[in-house]
Structure 1
Amino acid sequence: MKKHPSLRKKLLLLLVPPLLVLILIVSTILFRFALTEQRDAFDNALYDSAYSIYQLLEKSDAPIESFSLPRSEKQFILGDQTDAIFYSVLDTSGKLLSGDN
């Protein structure tokens, strides 16, 4: 008499490979989603810093000859415990008014 594989073994052989493929696909999708969200959060933080510096500049028709970011405001706007953030404020001709080279 020939012994047939058990129902448990048949089900495992039938269901495990598709489940592994499904897990791989879902993991890839979730990783890409998390990466996109992380990038967006970082971009928003950089935008907020740039906008804060922009608000410190006076809007006028005359060109701005110099700009200095006070130390306390620089620490507040650009302070980050894990990343180094650099900034530059340029005039319309590309001359550095303030910031990092």
Structure 2
Amino acid sequence: MKHLFPTLCTALLLTGCEVTTSSVGYSPYLEPIPGSITYRGQPRTKLTKAPVGSIVPHQFIDRFGRRVYETYVIEPDRSLLLVSRRYRDFLLFDDD
């Protein structure tokens, strides 16, 4: 009986835990949106001086007024792979 309470508490704490693919890393279902570098295909210029695996950050304002932060990785064929996207909703007092 004295082990029942800690076991119940542990079970309740574990049921509140969740893992999302966006927090873990690359999501194979992440598609470019208007404003993304790769929205209408790969850029015409190849990134020849950047090493393979380099991270390319990109930010823009979407059509809803949210600031969008995207991260790309340079692939071995010099194409860009979109690996993450974050949104910042409130832009009223934004300095950048």
Choose between structure 1 and 2 for higher RCO, CA contacts under 8 A separated by at least 6 residues. 2
Q: Please tell me the TM-score bracket, short chain as reference.
A: 0.3 to 0.5
Whichever structure has more helix as a proportion of its residues is: 1
